[in-house]
Amino acid sequence: AMDAPLPASPAGLSAFVAVSQVLGLALLATTGAWLGRYRGGVAWHSPLQLNAHPLCMVLGMVFLQGDALLVYRAFRHEAKRSTKALHAVLHGLALLIALVGIIAVFESHRAQGIPDMYSLHSWCGMATFVLYLLQWLLGCGFFLFPGASFSLRGWYKPQHIFFGIALFILSIASCLLGITEMLLFKISDSYSHFVPEGILANTLGVLLVAFGLVVGYVLAREEWRRPPLAEELALSMDFKTLTEGESPGGGS
């Protein structure tokens, strides 16, 4: 027998996902243009090493994190196991790239004799990264690898969803703080005169907010949630039977 065709995505979902990707690419292009045109570019073990920090944070903690959150909306009809793996891999890649950015700023500060961890940006950014790492480890432990019981997964899932969205918001907020801090350090005398660098950096901030709003809107639409496939419901019931000692019919 021929396989039944996959149901169409809900109206508007594909368009909003596409818009999010356009905004994400615009984020990266604007960050690169700012650092390349006005900050001298990016290089390791040089005075330009600091510039790797904003590039890595925008790429990892915003763009890739946002895409990881959209996985369950964009791949609605793929196998749940594959979707979970992609979700975890994107978050893991975001963490690795963000770690490179953190190493870049600490090494740059040490080379230039600049103190660490005194600003609001650094406090919020480091807290976000540490919580993001913890969120990823707990998510892998509860959902990707076997071991957690059905009831424990059910209890943790709302917490995982809440903190996933909260950390995405915190990541964007930390980036906005970082942009403002960098502008005040580098062009404090001319920033208020609407110089091109200030306008470009402000545009980057607006794009960050726009990307966050579009991703948030996609996540908030209840009818755009990924529907469970029939085989997933059966597997879920089997998993509950194995871990909770219940029969599929609810008996002991």
At 145 the pLDDT is: 80
DSSP label of 183? H
> Which tokens sit at 56?
């890595």
The answer to whether residue 21 is domain-embedded is no
Q: What is the CATH number of the domain that holds 79?
A: 1.20.120.1770
What's the mean pLDDT in 46-53? 96
The answer to whether residue 10 is domain-embedded is no
Please give the share of the chain, as a percent, with pLDDT higher than 70: 87
pTM value is 0.88
At 184 the pLDDT is: 96
The answer to whether residue 22 is domain-embedded is no
At 144 the pLDDT is: 85
The answer to whether residue 108 is domain-embedded is yes
The answer to whether residue 19 is domain-embedded is no
**pLDDT category of residue 245 using cuts at 50, 70 and 90:** low
Alpha carbons 82 and 98: distance in angstroms, whole number: 24
Instruction: Report the domain count for the chain.
Output: 1
The answer to whether residue 68 is domain-embedded is yes
At 217-243, the pLDDT tens digits run 999 999 999 887 655 554 455 445 545
pLDDT at 250 over 50: no
User: Across all residues in the chain, what is the average pLDDT?
Assistant: 89
Q: What range does the domain containing 169 cover?
A: 43-226
pLDDT at 116 over 70: yes
At 176-224, the pLDDT tens digits run 999 999 999 999 999 999 999 999 999 999 999 999 999 999 999 999 9
At 199 the pLDDT is: 98
**pLDDT category of residue 25 using cuts at 50, 70 and 90:** very high
Contact of 62 with 178, CB cutoff 8 Å = no
pLDDT at 251 over 80: no
Q: Nearest-CA neighbor of 98 among 138, 52, 162, 66? A: 52
The answer to whether residue 114 is domain-embedded is yes
Contact of 230 with 141, CB cutoff 8 Å = no
pLDDT at 39 over 80: yes
The answer to whether residue 203 is domain-embedded is yes
Q: Nearest-CA neighbor of 101 among 136, 145, 58? A: 58
At 232 the pLDDT is: 52
DSSP letters along 7-38, please?
PPPPTTHHHHHHHHHHHHHHHHHHHHHHHHHH
